[in-house]
Amino acid sequence: MLQIFAAHPDVYFQVFTNGHFITDDVAAELRRLGNVTPLISVEGSEIVSDTRRGRSGVLSQTMLGLQTALRHKLMVGVCTSVCKTNIDDLVNDAWVDRLIEMGVMYCWFHIYRPVGPEPNPDLALSSAEQRRVRQFVVDTRVNKPIVVIDAYHDDAGNALCPAVTGFTHHIGPWGDIEPCPVIQLAKESIHDDRPLAETFNDSAFLRDFRELTAGKTRGCVIMERPDLLVELAERHGARDTTARKKVIDELKKVQPRRSQYQPGDEIPERSFVYRWAKKYAFNDFGAYGRHFDASQYRDPDNQTQSYESQTASGPSLPVTKV
C-alpha cells in the first residue's frame, strides 16, 4: 500500500485499519508521503479501563499503533463500531477527552450491523441506544475540540444512506462495483471495457438499488429491508462478490431492525458549522425527496422474523408483533 500512496501524491487516502501494522518505520514513511490519514478502529476500552483502574496496563497492539502514528505526527482518526459491549465505555466524554489529550484529530462512531457470515444480533443496539449515540455525536460536536464524523444524517437530523444518495459506492478487492462495503453484490466491475464514470453512471443495477431503497426506507437497507436486496439481486442477476459465495443466504437470515432512521426522533445538528457544512455539502442530494414514500416504509421494530423464517412459514410480509 505504501507503493500505491507514493504513486498517487495528488490523492489523499484514508486507511481504515486496526493499527497493528503501524510500526515506527511505516509511520515515518506515511509522514514523509503526507497523503494518508489512518483511521484506527478501537472497539475496546483499554485506555478508559486503565484510567479507571488508576494504573497503566499493557496496551493492545491497536493502541500501540495509534500511539506510534501520533508520535510521528500523522493526522489520526479513531473509529468505533458501537455495540452493547462498548457503548458505556466509549460513547462518553471521558473517552473523547482522552482522544483529544492524545492528539487524535477526529473520531467516528458508527453502529454495529449484525450482518455477514457471523452476525451477533445480541450485540446490536436498540433504537433507544442508537438515539443515545446520535445525541452524543451532536452534543460532542458542540462541546469538544475534535471533529466527529457521521455519514448518516443531514443538517436537520434526517436519516440518509450515503449509498442511496449516490454520495458513495464501493469497489471490492477484485474490482467489483458494489452499492456499499457491506452489500457485496455487483453487476459491473472496474475491469469492464468502459470508462469508469460511464460504468458507474450507466449501471441499471446501482440506479435500481438507489431508487428501490430510497423509496422504502431512509435507513440502512441491509439492516431494515434485507429482502429488498435479495429481490434486487434476483431481478438483475447480480453476482455474489465474496469468496464465501453465501451472500443471499446470509441476507435471508438477517432479522430486520431499525438503523439510523428513527422516524419522529430526528435530532438536528446543534453546531452551526456542521449545520452549514451538511446543508450545502452533505445531504440527501434530493434522493429521498424524489423517491421516498412514507406509506412504503415498514418499521422493523414491528417485525420479529427474518426473511427466511417468514417465507418458510408463508408468503405474507411483514409479520407484526402481537
| C-beta closer to ligand SF4: residue 87 or 254 | 254
Q: Of 246, 255, 226, 229, which is closest to residue 121 (Cα–Cα)?
A: 255
| C-beta closer to ligand SF4: residue 65 or 219 | 219
Beta carbons within 10 angstroms of residue 298's beta carbon? 16
Please measure the distance between the N-terminal and C-terminal CA atoms of the chain and give it in whole angstroms: 53
Radius of gyration of the chain (CA): 21
Binding residue (CB under 6 A) for ligand SF4 from 103, 162, 172, 318: 162
Q: How far is the CB of 222 from ligand SF4 (least distance, A)?
A: 5
The answer to whether residues 45 and 86 touch, using CB atoms and an 8 Å cutoff, is yes
Compute the half-sphere exposure of residue 182: CA atoms within 13 Å on the CB side of its CA: 19
Q: How far is the CB of 163 from ligand SF4 (least distance, A)?
A: 4
Q: How far is the CB of 260 from ligand SF4 (least distance, A)?
A: 7
Question: Could you tell me the three cell numbers for 119?
Answer: 452476525
The whole-angstrom distance between residue 93's C-alpha and the CA centroid of its chain comes to 22
| C-beta closer to ligand SF4: residue 74 or 178 | 178
Interactions with ligand SF4, residue window 168-187 (CB under 6 A): 180, 182-183
The answer to whether residues 145 and 273 touch, using CB atoms and an 8 Å cutoff, is no
- Residue 254 is classified by DSSP as P
Q: How far is the CB of 10 from ligand SF4 (least distance, A)?
A: 26
Give Cα separations from 238 to 179, 185, 229 (angstroms): 11, 6, 10
Confirm or reject binding of residue 212 to ligand SF4 (CB under 6 A).
no
Angle, CA of 120, 297 and 288, to the nearest 5°? 105
Given CA atoms 158, 88, 183, 316 in this order, what sign does their dihedral have? negative
Q: How far is the CB of 221 from ligand SF4 (least distance, A)?
A: 5
| C-beta closer to ligand SF4: residue 180 or 277 | 180
φ/ψ of 315, rounded to 5, equals -85, -10
CA distance 291 to 220: 15
The type of residue at 102 is M
| C-beta closer to ligand SF4: residue 31 or 110 | 110
| Helix boundaries (H) for 237-299 | 247-253, 272-281, 287-291
| C-beta closer to ligand SF4: residue 96 or 232 | 232
| C-beta closer to ligand SF4: residue 95 or 282 | 282
Interactions with ligand SF4, residue window 275-294 (CB under 6 A): none
| C-beta closer to ligand SF4: residue 161 or 254 | 161
**What x-and-dash track marks residues 109-148 binding ligand SF4 by CB under 6 A?**
----------------------------------------
Q: How far is the CB of 284 from ligand SF4 (least distance, A)?
A: 12
Which stretch, 89-97, 215-223, 266-274, 310-318, contacts ligand SF4 (CB under 6 A)? 215-223
Confirm or reject binding of residue 163 to ligand SF4 (CB under 6 A).
yes
Interactions with ligand SF4, residue window 216-235 (CB under 6 A): 220-222
The footprint of ligand SF4 on this chain (CB under 6 A) covers a number of residues equal to 9
- Footprint of ligand SF4 on this chain (CB under 6 A)? 161-163, 180, 182-183, 220-222
